[in-house]
């Protein structure tokens, strides 16, 4: 175990009857990190979070918090606090009552407590809301109160269970920025659960991608996006075009790959994991494919196709390009840098897709 | 419904509703009527207005002691069955338990067997175990009858609020007991009050179990039963019935008034 | 010191078990209720069943297994006859109560726009009167010098009061239907209130008349409430003892009166137990039949 780890999962499993909600999970979370658990619903991320909070106990393995094993301590004795998915604001208390709830045993004087509450109200940008009842708060305000109620306890780790899921898009984006700033300001470790990959990318220092109870990959947002380690991760985060290919030769950390649809291409692939003849996925992000409408000079790193349907999304446009030898279309995303150029892309038009050498991600197949 | 319809063109449903209310009110309204009738026979024609039956009611120690017994049993049963019901409701709504279905079904049995069978089977058990009949045995029988009602009320209240409220209480450092007091209890309080009222009412009005399981000390329904056979006692019993009816009417109206006033108080206190 | 270590270790282990095991925590909370129910419900029912195979001899029981009570139950026609009559009366009470209650519940759920609570309270107010007095009220209504006879006489329709109003199965049915009215309205009202209003609009939108929408949408969806109401009325009325005693007369006696007499005047507890057991089985069978019937009806509608 890394001694700087604030949370350490050691061989943690959780079974509900025959269902393995969490299956042999091992990893550490560093002090002061904004760490996200990302995965589709039912992947075990919430169960993992609830095991840190103490609402679930591992079937086997152990969760360490700041070096202490947690399996014998009940939720109320753990130095962590949680922001619940639906915020769980106590309906019978006002905002101050909610925030003061956990401070009963802190041994503060009345005035000291009032000062602390005012401080966190300031921190969450709700000064003067102290006497509002729980039913008089908007969704965003409830979320802030839930945050304040947990933060006033000065937890070693703040646990957040999809706290932005119930907010509308604009408010969610605003709260993402505030949450990130808040975390940097107070320096507490955040453990954040979400199924929204964009949210995880925006907020996190590191992300653990989970599926079916297992951690598939842990990496920084840019690493996960630009060089994912598996087809699952590449597919789950953002959009990705996959092409079947086979390694035909290798030279240092560069390999030549033969594909049916894209022809021969070169790409970076670590030498130790590749062998000639190995079947691989060639993966290219939609925004890394550049459409051109006149035939390019060079045939390398480009492919001819035919324009299919397109979708105008305001800041960018998506189109589907059909290639010879391939049934499903390739998704291409283009920034709309100029106004009103949408009409240029006609269906059935000939188009050539080009990409840079480093745009190609090679992933193991099978 | 068409809101432009003039008031005199009532639709069939409205007429039906009025007839129905007449059906359920009419017989009951004759009871207070006869409590003011100056005759010991409950029959027409009416003989004239009197308050002497109310005077007789006040000067009737056996009736008043039966009333006190019923109030005592009702209060104890209401409190105990609500506590039992609350614990059981918490257990079945908050924990994953094997055999929950059958256990809940078992607790609900008193709702689906005729009271007379519940009464005689308890009577047989007490008889074989040589336990003498008393108000205690009546109270115990009422408890069995009331716990399922209490549990039904409280289960629906517990299901109505999110489990994460209680988790938040634990998460913020309170143990299970304090979380119950500071979170669960205030949130389910309306359900607890409903359960107390319901179970008190059931116990207070329960006749069959009390009839089989009481000895010398009577409850009010048992007293009323005996008075139904002695015409001379009947008018003052009707007077008591009318008094209890008025008392409960005042209590419920007052409770409703407090509740509405309370709501208003809450919503203005925040501004 | 070693002892202290192992002691705290066992404590830790126990605590771990308690934290881990939701069933343990759940059953701990359930234990007071369960214990009360085992002593007050399971044991008495077992004893009742046992006693039904014993015999009475003056004030003592003959504690040897015997089927005599059950043989008597089937040999003397009175028992089966009264049991069947009880079921018939209760069945009629149930049908009458539910049929009368449904339009009222429908009215409150769909026609009353504001103050539904006032209507619900209005319906429950008469039931704050003692059950015994409510039943007795029908003696006043139907009696020889009662409301109906006096009323008809003073209007000149009658010269002599009608004697047949009281003390027969019909007066039992009327009285019970009145006494249990509120118990039928509330569950039906709740199930009607739960129906998503857009479903009714969908029914109309798909071209059904108001009446057909009621038959094909509202009625099937409110069936759970109707079933609950039926059971809530049927079960307690089968065993009712008060109403037949007060307004039933000799022709209106029900199984509850028979059971009571075995524990009262006749002093034959084992026979009373056997009648109780038979009634319970019959009622359970009736309920099973009823639930099976409504289930297959619902399947046919769906």
Domain containing residue C205: CATH number = 1.10.3720.10
Do residue A287 and residue A205 come from a single domain?
no
- C 85-144 → B contacts, CB under 8 A: 100, 103-104, 106-108, 111, 113, 119, 121-123, 125-126, 128-134, 136-141, 143-144
Do residue A186 and residue A121 come from a single domain?
yes
Set of chain A residues whose Cβ sits within 8 Å of the Cβ of B171: 53-54, 75-76, 80-82, 102, 150
Least confident of A107-116, B59-68, C58-67: C58-67
Do residue C169 and residue C25 come from a single domain?
no
Set of chain C residues whose Cβ sits within 8 Å of the Cβ of B16: 103-104, 107
B22 membership: H or E segment, kind and range: helix B12-35
In a domain, C217, yes or no: yes
Least confident of A99-108, A194-203, C14-23: C14-23
In a domain, C89, yes or no: yes
Do residue A82 and residue A147 come from a single domain?
yes
Do residue A227 and residue A277 come from a single domain?
no
CATH of the domain at A256: 2.40.50.100
Do residue C42 and residue C72 come from a single domain?
no
- The residue ranges of chain B whose pLDDT is under 50 are 1-3, 262-271
In a domain, C60, yes or no: no
pLDDT tens for C208-223 read 788 888 888 888 889 9
pLDDT at C4 > cutoff 60:
no
Residue matched to tokens 């240092």: A252
3-state secondary structure of A308: strand
Residue of B nearest to A101 (CA): B172
Do residue A57 and residue A204 come from a single domain?
yes
Do residue A354 and residue A259 come from a single domain?
yes
Single out the residue of C96, C94, C177, C179 nearest to residue C135, CA to CA. Answer: C179
Single out the residue of B73, B27, B28, B31 nearest to residue B240, CA to CA. Answer: B31
Set of chain C residues whose Cβ sits within 8 Å of the Cβ of B43: 140, 143-146
Do residue C18 and residue C74 come from a single domain?
no
> Which residues fall within 8 angstroms of residue C295, CB to CB, at 6 or more apart?
none
Do residue C170 and residue C33 come from a single domain?
no
Q: Which pLDDT value is given to residue C16? A: 66
> Could you tell me the pLDDT band of residue C299, with boundaries at 50, 70 and 90?
confident
Do residue A204 and residue A312 come from a single domain?
no
Residue matched to tokens 């069933």: C23
Q: Which pLDDT value is given to residue B10? A: 62
Do residue C106 and residue C10 come from a single domain?
no
CATH of the domain at A195: 3.40.50.300
Q: Rounded to whole angstroms, how far apart are CA atoms B109 and B106? A: 5
Q: Which pLDDT value is given to residue C7? A: 60
Q: Is A55 on the interface with B (CB under 8 A)?
A: yes
Q: How many CB atoms lie within 10 A of CB C202?
A: 13
Do residue A134 and residue A226 come from a single domain?
yes
Least confident of A65-79, A95-109, A261-275, C61-75: A261-275
Q: Is the CB of B162 less than 8 angstroms away from the CB of A149?
A: no
Q: Which pLDDT value is given to residue B267? A: 34
Do residue C38 and residue C73 come from a single domain?
no
Do residue C16 and residue C108 come from a single domain?
no
Q: Is the CB of B124 less than 8 angstroms away from the CB of C51?
A: yes
ipTM of the complex: 0.85
Do residue C73 and residue C171 come from a single domain?
yes
> Could you say which DSSP state residue A167 is in?
S
Q: Which partners does chain A have (≥3 C-beta pairs < 8 Å)?
A: B, C
Six token digits for residue A76? 């109320």
Q: C interface mutation test: which of B91, B130, B155 has the most C CBs within 10 A?
A: B91
3-state secondary structure of A347: coil
- A 65-104 → B contacts, CB under 8 A: 74-77, 80-82, 84-86, 88, 90-92, 94, 101-102, 104
Q: Which pLDDT value is given to residue B263? A: 42
CA B34, B40, B41, B44 torsion-angle sign: negative
In a domain, C153, yes or no: yes
Set of chain B residues whose Cβ sits within 8 Å of the Cβ of C280: 113-114, 117
Domain count, chain C: 2
Domain count, chain A: 2
Q: What domains can you pick out in chain B, each with its CATH number?
A: 1-59 (no CATH), 61-230 (1.10.3720.10)
Do residue C101 and residue C31 come from a single domain?
no
Q: Is A53 on the interface with B (CB under 8 A)?
A: yes
Nearest CA distance, C2 vs chain B (angstrom): 30
Nearest CA distance, B269 vs chain A (angstrom): 8
- Higher-pLDDT residue of A355, C158: A355
End-of-domain residue from the set A176, A207, A235: A235
Do residue A14 and residue A122 come from a single domain?
yes
Percent of chain A surpassing pLDDT 70: 98
In a domain, C148, yes or no: yes
Residue length, chain C? 302
Set of chain A residues whose Cβ sits within 8 Å of the Cβ of B174: 76, 101-102, 104
Residue B42's φ and ψ, nearest 5 degrees, are -85, 80
Q: Is A57 on the interface with C (CB under 8 A)?
A: yes
pLDDT tens for C137-163 read 898 888 877 888 888 888 888 788 887
- Per the CB < 8 A criterion, the answer to whether A95 and A41 are in contact is no
C189-194 mean pLDDT: 90
Do residue C105 and residue C187 come from a single domain?
yes
Q: Is A71 on the interface with C (CB under 8 A)?
A: yes
Residue matched to tokens 């975390």: A183
Do residue A299 and residue A213 come from a single domain?
no
In a domain, C57, yes or no: no
Q: Rounded to whole angstroms, how far apart are CA atoms A245 and A259? A: 4
pLDDT at A29 > cutoff 90:
yes
Residue of A nearest to C21 (CA): A57
Q: Rounded to whole angstroms, how far apart are CA atoms C270 and C54? A: 6
Question: Going by DSSP bridges, is the β-strand pair A290-292/A350-354 parallel, antiparallel, or unpaired?
Answer: antiparallel
Do residue A230 and residue A244 come from a single domain?
no
Q: How many CB atoms lie within 10 A of CB C171?
A: 25
pLDDT at C242 > cutoff 80:
yes
Distances from the Cα of A60 to the Cαs of A15, A20, A28, A50, A272, in angstroms? Answer: 9, 11, 17, 15, 35
Q: Rounded to whole angstroms, how far apart are CA atoms C271 and C253? A: 18
Distances from the Cα of A37 to the Cαs of A26, A27, C41, C101, in angstroms? Answer: 13, 12, 51, 55
End-of-domain residue from the set A209, A235, A261: A235
- Higher-pLDDT residue of C275, C119: C275
Set of chain C residues whose Cβ sits within 8 Å of the Cβ of B34: 140
Q: Rounded to whole angstroms, how far apart are CA atoms B165 and B171? A: 10
Six token digits for residue A164? 């932005």
Six token digits for residue C24? 């343990």
Q: Is the CB of A76 less than 8 angstroms away from the CB of B162?
A: no
Range of the domain at C41: 2-51
Range of the domain at A330: 239-364
Do residue A212 and residue A317 come from a single domain?
no
End-of-domain residue from the set A208, A235, A262: A235
Selection from A189-193, B194-198, B250-254, C283-287 with the highest mean pLDDT: A189-193
Do residue C32 and residue C177 come from a single domain?
no
Set of chain A residues whose Cβ sits within 8 Å of the Cβ of C19: 57, 71-72, 74
Do residue C111 and residue C32 come from a single domain?
no
Six token digits for residue B225? 């039963």
Single out the residue of C223, C196, C203 nearest to residue C105, CA to CA. Answer: C223
């Amino acid at each position: 175990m890394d001694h700087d780890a604030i949370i350490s999962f050691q061989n943690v499993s959780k079974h509900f009857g025959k269902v393995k909600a969490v299956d042999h999970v091992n990893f550490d979370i560093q002090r002061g990190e904004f760490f996200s658990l990302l995965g589709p619903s039912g992947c075990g991320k919430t169960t993992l979070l609830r095991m840190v909070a103490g609402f679930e106990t591992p079937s086997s393995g152990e969760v360490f918090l700041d070096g202490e094993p947690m399996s014998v301590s009940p939720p109320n004795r753990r130095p962590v606090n949680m922001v619940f998915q639906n915020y769980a604001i106590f309906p019978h208390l006002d905002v101050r009552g909610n925030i003061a709830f956990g401070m009963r045993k802190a041994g503060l004087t009345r005035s000291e407590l009032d000062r602390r509450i005012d401080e966190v109200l300031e921190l969450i940008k709700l000064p003067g809301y102290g006497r509002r009842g729980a039913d008089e708060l908007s969704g965003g305000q409830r979320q802030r109160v839930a945050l304040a109620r947990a933060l006033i306890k000065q937890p070693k780790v703040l646990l957040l269970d999809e706290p932005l899921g119930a907010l509308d898009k604009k408010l969610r984006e605003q709260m993402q920025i505030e949450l990130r700033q808040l975390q940097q300001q107070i320096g507490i470790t955040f453990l954040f659960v979400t199924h929204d990959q964009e949210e995880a990318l925006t907020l996190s220092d590191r992300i653990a991608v989970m599926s079916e109870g297992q951690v598939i990959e842990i990496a920084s947002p840019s690493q996960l996006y630009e060089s994912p380690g598996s087809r699952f991760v590449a597919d789950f985060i953002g959009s990705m075009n996959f092409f079947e290919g086979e390694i035909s030769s290798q030279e240092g950390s560069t390999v030549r790959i033969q594909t049916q649809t894209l022809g021969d291409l070169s790409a970076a692939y670590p030498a130790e994991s590749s062998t000639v003849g190995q079947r691989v996925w060639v993966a290219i992000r939609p925004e890394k494919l550049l459409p051109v409408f006149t035939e390019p000079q060079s045939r390398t790193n480009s492919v001819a196709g035919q324009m299919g349907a397109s979708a105008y999304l305001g800041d960018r446009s998506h189109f589907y390009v059909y290639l010879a030898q391939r049934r499903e279309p390739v998704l291409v995303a283009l920034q709309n840098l100029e106004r009103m150029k949408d009409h240029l892309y006609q269906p059935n038009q000939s188009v050539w897709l080009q990409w840079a050498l480093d745009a190609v991600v090679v992933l193991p197949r099978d | 419904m068409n809101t432009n319809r003039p008031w005199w063109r009532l639709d069939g449903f409205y007429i039906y509703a009025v007839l129905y209310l007449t059906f359920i009110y009419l017989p009951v309204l004759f009871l207070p009527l006869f409590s003011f009738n100056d005759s010991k026979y409950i029959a027409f024609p009416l003989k004239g207005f009197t308050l002497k039956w109310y005077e007789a009611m006040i000067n009737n120690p056996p009736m008043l002691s039966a009333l006190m017994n019923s109030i005592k049993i009702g209060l104890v049963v209401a409190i105990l069955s609500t506590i039992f019901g609350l614990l059981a409701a918490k257990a079945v709504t908050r924990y994953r338990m094997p055999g929950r279905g059958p256990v809940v079904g078992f607790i609900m049995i008193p709702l689906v067997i005729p009271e007379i069978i519940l009464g005689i089977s308890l009577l047989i058990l007490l008889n074989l175990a040589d336990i003498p009949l008393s108000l205690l045995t009546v109270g115990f029988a009422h408890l069995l009858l009331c716990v399922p009602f209490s549990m039904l009320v409280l289960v629906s209240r517990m299901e109505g609020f999110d489990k994460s409220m209680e988790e938040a209480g634990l998460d913020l450092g309170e143990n299970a007991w304090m979380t119950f007091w500071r979170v669960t209890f205030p949130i389910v309080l309306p359900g607890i009050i409903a359960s107390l009222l319901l179970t008190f009412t059931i116990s207070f009005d329960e006749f069959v179990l009390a009839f089989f399981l009481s000895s010398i000390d009577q409850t009010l329904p048992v007293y009323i039963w005996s008075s139904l056979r002695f015409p001379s006692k009947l008018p003052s019993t009707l007077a008591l019935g009318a008094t209890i009816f008025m008392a409960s009417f005042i209590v419920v109206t007052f409770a409703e008034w407090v509740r509405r006033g309370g709501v208003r108080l809450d919503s203005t206190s925040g501004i | 010191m070693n002892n202290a270590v192992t002691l705290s270790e066992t404590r830790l282990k126990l605590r771990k078990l308690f934290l881990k095991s939701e069933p343990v925590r759940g059953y701990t909370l359930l234990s007071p209720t369960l214990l009360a129910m085992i002593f007050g419900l399971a044991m008495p029912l077992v004893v009742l069943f046992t006693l039904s195979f014993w015999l009475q001899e003056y004030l003592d029981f003959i504690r040897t297994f015997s089927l005599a009570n059950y043989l008597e139950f089937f040999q003397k026609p009175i028992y089966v006859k009264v049991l069947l009559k009880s079921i018939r009366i209760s069945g009629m009470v149930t049908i009458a109560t539910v049929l009368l209650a449904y339009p009222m519940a429908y009215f409150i759920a769909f026609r009353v726009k504001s103050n539904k609570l006032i209507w619900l309270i209005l319906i429950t107010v008469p039931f704050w009167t003692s059950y015994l007095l409510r039943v007795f009220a029908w003696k006043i209504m139907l009696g020889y010098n009662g409301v109906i006879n006096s009323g008809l006489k003073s209007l000149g329709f009658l010269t002599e009061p009608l004697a047949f109003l009281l003390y027969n199965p019909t007066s039992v049915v009327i009285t019970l239907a009145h006494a249990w009215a509120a118990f039928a309205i509330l569950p039906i009202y709740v199930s009607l209130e739960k129906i998503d209003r857009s479903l009714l609009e969908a029914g109309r939108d798909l071209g059904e008349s108001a009446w057909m929408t009621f038959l094909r949408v509202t009625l099937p969806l409110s069936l759970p409430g109707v079933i609950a109401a039926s059971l809530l009325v049927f079960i307690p009325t089968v065993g009712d003892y008060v109403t037949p005693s007060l307004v039933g007369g000799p022709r209106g006696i029900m199984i509850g009166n028979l059971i009571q007499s075995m524990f009262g005047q006749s002093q034959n507890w084992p026979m009373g137990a056997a009648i109780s057991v038979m009634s319970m089985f019959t009622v359970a069978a009736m309920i099973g039949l009823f639930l099976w019937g409504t289930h297959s009806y619902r399947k046919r509608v769906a």
